[in-house]
Amino acid sequence: MKKPIQQHFSVPFQYQVHFTRAIFDKNNPLFAHTVKSDLVPKVFFIIDQGVAEAHPNLINQIEAYAEAYKHIFQLCGRSLIVPGGEQSKNTNRYFQQILEATHTFGIDRHSYVVALGGGAVLDMAGFASAVAHRGIRHIRIPTTVLSQNDSGVGVKNGINSFGKKNFLGTFAPPFAVINDVAFLTTLDDRDWRAGISEAIKVALIKDASFFQWIEKQASSLASRQMEPMETLIYRCAEMHLEHIASGDPFEMGSSRPLDFGHWAAHKLEQLTAYQIRHGEAVTIGMALDATYSYLKNMLSAEELHRIVQLMKTLGFDLYVPELSNQEVLNGLDEFREHLGGELTIMLLNAIGQGVEVHEMDKHLLQEAISKLKKFQEADLKV
């Protein structure tokens, strides 16, 4: 018997996350410089319907910009408008439309598929880009707080299937990410607030000083002041990227610290038929796991109070009726299945100090849920 041939190689991944304003202003060359190459590449846009409606002149701006920079890139076909939110991921219809466009317009590996919208649209378009021709260059232009500071800057793509969030998908880094703060001005209050949850998340598990900064800026953030929001987005994106580069970007192991609060959040999204925003569900999930950490004598009463108070100051709900559904606890098993291997949940030893555990006491979780209901009813006594 011949000995096995050992194969080993590594592929370096690198991409830039840009921060700008008015990306399709003809005097802003950032997008054109991003796609510039020796060729004049084709560029195809997928646009979140909600963004298109909030910015009715957007498609005309893109076409005018492309005309101004036609020596650098060319549009192929009209922009594809798709529904925003989980609706774009709950069916393969829009995923398939992108694949059909790559065929119809001859979009190849030297072309660009550009997704402009919230995190769900970016997830879906990124998945389609990753599988067409085994990978087409994909540029993300996130338009929500959550996608600019978290989901849009990472390496995950996917759609929902079999009643499970992100059951189908890939790990495929984008070619580039371009954050344009101008898109944040038209967000409704729920979407503005929801994205702050991911900043709270990274602060709670990694950076106590960042959590303290968010506490001090909570009222300004809640009143939609742009300067602190830009700072929050930049720092959160920076920490997210640092984590991706730190060891396991494609999540081959069972450790997923950036999924703090997500095991319950994913189940709540499903149980509410995605009427609850992802960031809203994550906040409830974090509040649940922080309260559980307190009940396990890991987190102090004072720290739990600070966490809960911050969430309430920002205007988040800490409890929804679906949280008391027995199905929520099934989310632990589904989360383990999604991870593969053993269950790994991030809890808190202190603000800024996450710790992984491999089992959860379901009776204690029920007690934590009861406490969250009381917190929601304005009783903040721990």
Please give the share of the chain, as a percent, with pLDDT higher than 70.
95
Per-residue model confidence as pLDDT tens digits over 3-62 = 999 999 888 889 999 999 999 999 999 999 999 999 999 999 999 999 999 999 999 999
- Tell me whether residue 4 is in a domain: no
What is residue 381's predicted lDDT score, i.e. its pLDDT? 57
Q: Who's near 55: CB < 8 A, 6+ residues apart?
A: 183, 186
Q: Which helix H or strand E contains 62, and what residues bound it? A: helix 58-68
Asked whether residue 182 falls in the same domain as residue 320, the answer is: no
Out of 156, 186, 216, pick the residue that ends a domain: 186
Q: Which of 77-91, 295-309, 339-353 has the highest mean pLDDT?
A: 295-309
Give the angle 286-229-310 at the CA atoms, nearest 5°: 35
What is residue 322's predicted lDDT score, i.e. its pLDDT? 93
- Which pTM does this prediction carry? 0.90
CATH number, domain containing residue 198? 1.20.1090.10
Give the angle 322-324-329 at the CA atoms, nearest 5°: 95
Asked whether residue 119 falls in the same domain as residue 172, the answer is: yes
Out of 130, 159, 186, pick the residue that ends a domain: 186
pLDDT exceeds cutoff 70 at 254: no
Using DSSP's 3-state secondary structure scheme, residue 250 falls into: coil
Out of 167, 186, 205, pick the residue that ends a domain: 186
Alpha helices in 80-170, H assignment, sequence order: 93-104, 119-131, 145-149
- Tell me whether residue 2 is in a domain: no
Alpha carbons 360 and 217: distance in angstroms, whole number: 33
What domain range includes position 79? Answer: 16-186
Q: Who's near 10: CB < 8 A, 6+ residues apart?
A: none
Per-residue model confidence as pLDDT tens digits over 302-314 = 999 999 999 999 9
Query: Pairing mode, if any, of strands 80-82 and 42-48?
Result: parallel
Mean pLDDT of the chain: 92
Q: What is the DSSP code (8-state) at residue 346? A: E
Q: Which residues pair with 346 in a beta bridge?
A: 356
pLDDT exceeds cutoff 80 at 64: yes
Q: Which helix H or strand E contains 332, and what residues bound it? A: helix 327-339
Domain count of the fold of the chain: 2
- Confidence tier at 382 by pLDDT (50, 70, 90): low
Asked whether residue 181 falls in the same domain as residue 76, the answer is: yes
Asked whether residue 261 falls in the same domain as residue 319, the answer is: yes
pLDDT exceeds cutoff 60 at 253: no
Average pLDDT over residues 175-202: 95
- Tell me whether residue 10 is in a domain: no
Asked whether residue 197 falls in the same domain as residue 273, the answer is: yes
Per-residue model confidence as pLDDT tens digits over 270-297 = 899 889 999 999 999 999 999 999 999 9
- Tell me whether residue 279 is in a domain: yes
- Between the two ends of the chain, the Cα-to-Cα distance in Å is 67
Q: Report which of 125, 378, 151, 97 is spatially closest to residue 277, judged by C-alpha positions.
A: 151
Asked whether residue 23 falls in the same domain as residue 39, the answer is: yes
CATH number, domain containing residue 70? 3.40.50.1970
pLDDT exceeds cutoff 80 at 249: no
What is residue 255's predicted lDDT score, i.e. its pLDDT? 53
Per-residue model confidence as pLDDT tens digits over 108-149 = 999 999 999 999 999 999 999 999 999 999 999 999 999 999
- Tell me whether residue 381 is in a domain: no
Q: Which residues pair with 179 in a beta bridge?
A: 19
